[in-house]
Amino acid sequence: MIKTSCSLPDTTIPTLGPARIATPLLHPRYVDESRPLSLVMTSEELAELDNETMLLEFEKAGPRQHLYFDPPKTKCAIVTCGGLCPGINDVIRAIVMESHYHYGVRTVLGIRNGLRGFIPKYRYDLMELTPKSVSNIHQFGGTILGSSRGPQEPTEIVDALERLNISVLFVIGGDGTMRAAKAIMDEVALRRRKISVIGIPKTIDNDINFITRTFGFDTAVEKATEAIQCAHVEATGMDMGVGLVKLMGREAGFIAAQATLAMQEVNFLLVPEQPFALDGENGLLMALERRLLARGHALIVCAEGAGRDLLEEDKRTDPSGNPVLGDICGLLARRAKSHFDSRGLEMTLKFIDPSYIIRSVPANAGDRVYCGFLGQQAVHAAMAGKTGMVVTQVKTSMVHLPLDLVTSKKRFLNIDSDYWSSVMEATGQEVYFGKK
């Protein structure tokens, strides 16, 4: 069933003005903007879809024959915000290399320590980014620019952009950072300045609406599977052994689900999208007992945001405004020990939390290729005068999406989908919960 046009979101990309400058690129495949890209969207990409589909038109990413900015007179800046993620340095490097070698942009500045780097009171120096200074940064995790969390005043940020005579700002960050980028663009528009604001979405949880894949996700899954394998070895190394692995996923369990499919050794997968009970005949503790008595070992993968209804409500938030999560894995470990002690059964649990290791590693080969595409396409969009947008992959195509669209809501696992059905088949957990 295809949704009607009345419910179609607006995918129009703002521009700073007519593009009249001939591109210096000698490229055989310029994008024809008169021919938008039509894609069928499903619930895997859009949070608001259930079993329906939606046909949408997108502006295709890629080089344009005519530019808005004159490259030798254009000054760019890059800022990285929020938590670390594999591939940030790769995106920075791709932007610098594309700007310098293919467009002839002479100045690319790095803003240190996130949006704080724009604010005078923090007294952070700028970093000049050149092909030489970024040539090897893709070999390392993290970000050479540093990062920070928390909002800063858009007026102060735009003041800094004006002082520095910046024409293009590349913003690398998650959904909160993309909302900040939208606020910066609105302030730029209010002042009637010609500054392009281009976002490159960064969230290791892969939970941005409309976006099929965020950079760093593949690397995160790869490293997560290594932790799961270690927990499996620990669990099978003793009788009645349990391995418990905590993975990233505040509100969406994409990493945990994908790693579970990759390993095929997980017996119980706990994600934020699917509530579960601890007690009772169909609760997790009895399911775990049945598994241990039947097979002698068990492996649990738990996304950090799972089971929030089982924890005492914590109204605190972090500097980015995200709720402070309770310790679900600590609760599971305590309750499992208590349950098995009360039943007179022996059980040994080994807990592994690889979260910060996963966040800080360099990108794998697949993510490096993707990060290179993102950096290149971001520069193409900026030089053509696009603004208020992100560059990303939807399905298998690189496209432009307006900031309003990607910040409107988050994407979640659809637990009524073929994908989730495959995950449940891989775990077999419904057998131990008594549901099959």
Per residue in 41-52, pLDDT (tens digit) is: 877 777 667 667
Considering the candidates 90, 175, 205, 218, report the single residue annotated as catalytic: 205
**Is 205 an active-site residue?**
yes
Q: Output the DSSP codes for 105-153.
A: --EEEEETTGGGGG-GGG-PPEEE--HHHHTTGGGSSS-TT----S---
Q: Would the pLDDT of 6 be above 60?
A: no
The yes-or-no answer to whether 5-214+361-406 and 220-359+416-432 have a common fold is yes
What's the confidence (pLDDT) of residue 405? 87
In single-letter form, the type of residue at position 13 comes to I
Q: Would the pLDDT of 313 be above 60?
A: yes
What are the CB-based long-range contacts (under 8 Å, 24+) for 341-346?
343/289, 345/240, 345/289, 345/292, 346/239, 346/240
Q: Are the beta carbons of 336 and 347 closer than 8 angstroms?
A: yes
What's the confidence (pLDDT) of residue 408? 81
Query: Between 375 and 322, where is the model more confident?
Result: 375
Task: At 385, list the tokens.
Answer: 């005068």
What's the confidence (pLDDT) of residue 323? 65
**pLDDT exceeding 90 applies to what percent of the chain?**
71
Averaged pLDDT, 398-426: 89
What's the confidence (pLDDT) of residue 3? 55
Residues 6+ apart with CB under 8 A from 63: 23, 25, 27, 29, 30, 31, 380
In single-letter form, the type of residue at position 4 comes to T
Q: Would the pLDDT of 330 be above 70?
A: yes
What's the confidence (pLDDT) of residue 416? 84
Structure confidence by residue, pLDDT tens digits, 74-94: 999 999 998 899 999 999 999
At 389 the three-state DSSP class reads strand
Decide yes or no: CATH 3.40.50.450 for domain 5-214+361-406. Answer: yes
Q: What is the mean pLDDT of the chain?
A: 91
User: What pLDDT band is residue 5 in, cutting at 50, 70 and 90?
Assistant: very low
Q: Would the pLDDT of 303 be above 50?
A: yes
d(CA 370, CA 101): 19
pTM: 0.92
State the angle between helix axes of 88-97 and 365-383 in degrees (0 to 180), rounded to the nearest 10.
40
Domain ranges of the chain: 5-214+361-406, 220-359+416-432
What's the confidence (pLDDT) of residue 46? 73
Element (H, E) at 59: strand 54-60
Structure confidence by residue, pLDDT tens digits, 190-201: 999 999 999 999
Structure confidence by residue, pLDDT tens digits, 128-184: 999 999 999 999 999 999 999 888 999 999 999 999 999 999 999 988 899 999 999
What's the confidence (pLDDT) of residue 318? 62
What's the confidence (pLDDT) of residue 41? 81
Q: Are the beta carbons of 58 and 381 closer than 8 angstroms?
A: no
Averaged pLDDT, 293-300: 96
User: What pLDDT band is residue 251 in, cutting at 50, 70 and 90?
Assistant: confident
At 349 the three-state DSSP class reads strand
Name the CATH superfamily for 220-359+416-432: Phosphofructokinase domain (3.40.50.460)
Q: Residue 5: phi, psi to the nearest 5?
A: -65, -20
Q: Would the pLDDT of 211 be above 60?
A: yes
